[in-house]
Amino acid sequence: MWELDSPTLITVLTIMFSSIGIVLGCVVPAIMEGIATKHALDGMSRQPDAANDLRTTLLISMALLESTAIYVLLVILILIFANPLLDRFFV
Amino acid sequence: MDSVTPQVIFTIFGLPITDTVISTWVIMAVIIVFAWFIRKYKPGIAEIIIESISGIIASVMPDDTKVLRFLPILGTLALFLMIANIFSIFPLMVAPTANINTTFALAIVVFFAVHVYGIFVRGFWGYVKNVATPVFILPLEIISQVSRTISLSIRLFGNILSTDLIVAIIFSLIPFFLPLPLAALSILTGVLQAYIFTVLASLYIASAVEVEEKETERRRLKREAKLSSQLTERIN
């Protein structure tokens, strides 16, 4: 692998670490959203009167959690489609 | 990268007009015609829409807030985003919120609306005093204002762009029937993100207004205590 020339090496490394990054960035927020939903559903089934408040809070917190996954996706889109390292070093 | 960056359709006096701008114009025309039609022929539907949007806003604000004061900007945001997020399901159109310039402009509107409403209801020095007590909170407050503006814009942009990209990728692989459930998912995400954006904007505005009500309550209590002490003095 180390006999590759530098742009190819950077591309290969970028793709490898993008895959690892998108896996981590999807798995961790998904687990956390599952935990948040679990506790919200527990609260809703225990107190159906508070279901509306809980649903609003759940949606807001899910969006805040989801946005971390979106940040990872944006960084990886930039790395794959418009890699700044390739542009800077090897025009 | 061509699917991610906006395409220049034509130029006016050297000013490039992208497909995002054209979609935004179409959405503006749709909203204006829709509003005119509803106002002229079906006023009941307008009532239902206003009731539901003000219900959403009132659910995150403190109980005795006058929601109608904030309805023009937040309702406009909700209507525009609700149509703009699902606009890529129409042929030849792109969703304007899949371009970061649109979402960042909307987030800057929300950023200034928070301060304008805060100054509007509290007065300039009252608002500054509210933001900067104690003084070492002020840098943290500035950082939080800027970072939540950026996160508001990037969240909307990333969600809409990613669902559109997923539909486009699946469409380029298997063009028959399989993109349909993903397009339905993109509609669901779009409506949910419009709701989230509106709710977060009303939360930010509520955080600038809520303290004001506590302050007026405290002033009222102080005034009543002063009055009662004067009364007792006068009686004595």
Q: How is chain A classified by DSSP, letter by letter?
A: -TTS-HHHHHHHHHHHHHHHHHHHHHHHHHHHHHHHHHHHHHHHHH-GGGHHHHHHHHHHHHHHHHHHHHHHHHHHHHHHHS-HHHHHH--
Number of domains in chain B: 1
User: How confident is the model at residue A90, as a pLDDT?
Assistant: 65
Copy the structure tokens of residue A36. 């948040």
User: How confident is the model at residue B8, as a pLDDT?
Assistant: 78
- What residue in B sits closest to A59 (Cα-Cα)? B196
Do B162 and A73 lie within an 8 Å CB cutoff?
Answer: yes
Chain B residue numbers touching A65 (CB-CB < 8 A): none
**B134 occurs within a structural domain:** yes
User: How confident is the model at residue B89, as a pLDDT?
Assistant: 86
Copy the structure tokens of residue A81. 């489609």
- B159 touching chain A per CB within 8 A: yes
Distances (CA, A) of B46 to A5, A61, B52: 64, 30, 10
Rounded to whole angstroms, the Cα distance separating B206 from B198 reads 12
- For B86-178, where are the alpha helices, taking DSSP H only? 100-122, 124-131, 137-173
**B125 occurs within a structural domain:** yes
**B206 occurs within a structural domain:** yes
Task: Report DSSP state, residue B6.
Answer: P
ipTM over 0.85: no
The secondary element (H helix, E strand) that includes residue B8 is strand B8-12
- Dihedral angle sign, alpha carbons of residues A51, A57, A61, A63: positive
Chain A residue numbers touching B1 (CB-CB < 8 A): 81-82
Q: Give the closest of B158, B195, B199 to A70, CB-based.
A: B158
Q: Which amino acid is at B53?
A: I
Q: Which domain holds residue B145?
A: 8-235
- Residues B21/B102, Cβ–Cβ less than 8 Å: no
- Residues B96/B102, Cβ–Cβ less than 8 Å: yes
Structure-token match 């407050």, residue found: B141
User: How confident is the model at residue A63, as a pLDDT?
Assistant: 81
Do A67 and B151 lie within an 8 Å CB cutoff?
Answer: yes
User: Shortest Cα distance from A81 to chain B (angstroms)?
Assistant: 6
User: Shortest Cα distance from B147 to chain A (angstroms)?
Assistant: 13
User: How confident is the model at residue A44, as a pLDDT?
Assistant: 92
- B59 touching chain A per CB within 8 A: yes
Do A81 and B192 lie within an 8 Å CB cutoff?
Answer: no
Reported residue count of chain B is: 236
Distances (CA, A) of B12 to B8, B16, B50: 11, 7, 38
Using beta carbons and an 8 Å cutoff, which residues of A are at the interface with B? 52-53, 56, 59-60, 63, 66-67, 70-71, 73-74, 77, 81-82
Distances (CA, A) of B40 to B27, B29, B36: 20, 16, 6
- B158 touching chain A per CB within 8 A: yes
Which 3-state string (H, E, C) describes B188-202? HHHHHHHHHHHHHHH
Torsion of CA B105, B186, A14, A62, to 10 degrees: 80
Which tens digit of pLDDT belongs to each residue from A23-82?
999 999 999 999 999 999 999 999 998 888 888 888 888 888 888 888 898 888 888 887
Buried b (16+ CB within 10 A) or exposed e, B153-183: bbbbbbbbbbbbbbbeebeeeeeeeebeebb
Rounded to whole angstroms, the Cα distance separating B216 from B102 reads 37
Number of CB atoms found within 10 A of residue B74's CB: 22
Q: What is the pLDDT along chain B (236 residues), one digit of tens a residue?
A: 455 667 777 778 878 888 888 999 999 999 999 989 998 888 888 889 889 998 888 888 877 777 888 888 999 999 999 999 998 888 888 889 988 889 999 999 999 999 998 888 878 888 888 777 788 888 888 898 999 999 899 899 988 988 888 888 888 888 888 888 988 989 998 998 999 899 999 988 888 887 555 666 777 788 888 888 888 888 77
**B1 occurs within a structural domain:** no
- Residues B23/B102, Cβ–Cβ less than 8 Å: no
**B190 occurs within a structural domain:** yes
**B178 occurs within a structural domain:** yes
Q: Give the closest of A52, A70, A82 to B154, CB-based.
A: A70
To test the contact with chain A by mutation, choose from B147, B162, B204 the residue with the greatest count of A C-beta atoms within 10 A, namely: B162
Do B162 and A66 lie within an 8 Å CB cutoff?
Answer: no
